[in-house]
Every structure is written in C-alpha cells, then in structure tokens.
Amino acid sequence: MLDDFVTFGRSGLRVSRYALGAFNFGGDQRWSLDVEAAQRLIARYRELGGNFLDAANSYGGGAAETILGDYLAASSGSRDRLVIASKFGSNTRPGDPNAGGGGRKAILQACEDSLRRLRTDRIDLYWMHLWDPLTPMEETLRALDDLVRAGKILHIGFSNTPAWKISEARWLAEFRNTAPVVGLQLQYSLLERSIEIEHVPMALAYGLGIAAWSPLKSGALSGRYRRDDVANHDTEGRAAFLARALDEKAEAVLAAVAGIADRRGISFAQVALAWIQAQPALAVILIGAHDVMQLEENAAAANVVLSSEDLAELDEISRPVIPYPGDFARRAHGAVSGGTRINGIEPTPGGGSPSQAKA
C-alpha cells in the first residue's frame, strides 16, 4: 500500500509518499502516545510498506527520538532499510540561549543529542525546524555542510521558513559549494493553502521536494469535528487548534469533502489526503495517527484517485486569497502574452494592464 517511492527533491533519497510522523510519540500532552502504542504504529507502518519516519529533537521533549532509537536497536536490520528524519532549531534547555536556533554551536549540539537518542551514526534527512533570524544563513549552511562531510547527516531540508530565506539558502549553497537544501516540510491541506503563493512556485523552479505536515489540519478534515459542536473538540487536547481551523470557509470545504466521500464510499480523511497527493509539487505527506486503525484508514488514501471533477470542486471551494504582488502577477498574464494562450495558461479576462488599453 505504501511501497510507492519517490526521490525526494533533487536527491537520490528514495522515500515513501506517505511518511509516519512522530509528533505524538512520548511526552505528557493529551495527544501523547506511550512507548508501546508508538512502536505498534511503527511496526504496522512498515508492514504497509512505508520506509520514512519523521521526528524532531523537541517532540515529546526528546522522547520521540528515544522511542525511534529503541525500535531501531531492537529490530534487526531496520536502520538500513528505513529513512530517518529529525529536526533541529527548537530550544530544548530553557534559559540556555545556545540550546536552540541555527547557530553552529546549537546545531552541533542538537545533532549529537539526536544521534544519541536515535542510537544511530547518521540522520538521513535533517530539517531546520524553523528559521532563526538572529543567525546568518552562511553560518547555518556551513555547520550543516560540516555535518554532511562528517557523515553524520546525509541530506538537508528546511521547515516553516519564508520562501525568500529558502531562496537565499539555495543560492548561497550553490555559490559556496556546500551541501544543498533538497526539500521543504511545510503545512499544507485543503484548509491551509498559503504555500501555493510563494513556496510552491519556488519549489517547482528549484526542484525542491515538499513534505506536507498537518494534511488534515489538526484533525479538522477528519469529519469528526464541526464548528458549532464543540463538545468533543478537546478530547485529545485539540481545542485550540480546531478553534482556529473551523471557520466559515472550513464549513464550506467540509461540505464539499462530505459530498465526495459519500459518492465514493470513502472517509473524509481519505478525500482530503487524496487531494493533496494529486498536487504536482507534493512529494511526501506526513501522516500522524492515534492508533493502528487510524493509520490504516489514512494509509488507504494512497490508493484513492479523485476524478478531475472532484479535484476541481475541492480546488475551487478551498482556493486561498492571494495577496499582492502574487495576485497582480497572475492577473497580468494577459499583459505579457498579448491575450494568447502560452504553455496551457489562459489569460485572465480583464487582467491586462490599463496602460495597454486601445486608444
């Protein structure tokens, strides 16, 4: 089911299109899983054909990496067959200004700590969890390049970072001959499509793979929650997330998802995930699950292919508002093309520049 692999970005790293996220592994949050529950998910994910496990140094206060490390140590031969990703950047020692961010000291410490918890000698894909505006990008890239040259990490990715900063990093790495950024991990779903404005065009232009986190928008797209029925919103500590997600537009999106789910005889979550996997810039979808049944339901979306009519309906109802100058660039296509169709792109009616009006 999950043995459909892709090369991630401009790299030779082969990963499952559906990765298993470890955000809820360990810790003491209401959504946290204990060791046994987390390892059942890993085992079932592998049985389904998946090979990509994604963690972070901050998940569960470090417990997520420890759970993965213990699994790798106990499962003979699993380390070489699995792609292990983790993240740096989140501060893990309150009061210590050098225990987080993108500085050399913080990166080297975080990597050594993650390697120890994961009980491995290398991390296959090391994400910058969030942008550190206090550290020059040159320092971050050079520290990461040193780790690549030492064999402690194999590939570099960025998460939750502005497009302009990713673009800067891409060109700095090329001109300074350091290890490149191969992909991005960004929030993306039918209820969060903002990355389409800057990040998706940039990723397509530079050959960067995109891994989508929170593809069900904290469960809002699962069909289990409604805006006016808050009784069960906090069953897993999700109330704060759902309050932001379930607005008036979300209700319209959920109505469209419900119609497609009913016609196809599949779940809300499978419709939402199938829409994401049809998007051309998406390489990987990060799924999280509270139990094996939920994992199997989400994984089954890998076999769902929505019709062009279904995709068009979902695309229209969930279309994001594009701010200036992105909206200007799209509307101005006719001013560039002279009103003609180029590369399959039709000019927007009335989208030309007023300066081109006929005398």
Which is catalytic among the residues 45, 59, 126, 225?
A: 59
Helix (H, G, I), strand (E, B) or coil at 83: strand
Residue closest to 160 by CA, chosen among 135, 132, 179: 132
Helix (H, G, I), strand (E, B) or coil at 46: helix
Amino acid identity at 357: A
Helix (H, G, I), strand (E, B) or coil at 232: coil
91: Cβ contacts below 8 Å, ≥ 6 apart: 99, 100, 101
| 8-state DSSP, 208 | -
Q: Decide if 137 contacts 172 (C-beta within 8 A).
A: yes
Phi, psi of 322 (to 5 degrees): -100, 115
Cα distances (angstroms) measured from residue 323 to each of 168, 198, 320, 334: 22, 11, 9, 19
Give the separation between CA 341 and CA 337, rounded to whole angstroms. 7
Q: How many CB atoms lie within 10 A of CB 93?
A: 10
Residue 272: in which H helix or E strand, if any? helix 268-277
For the question of residue 59 being annotated catalytic, the response is yes
Catalytic residues: 59
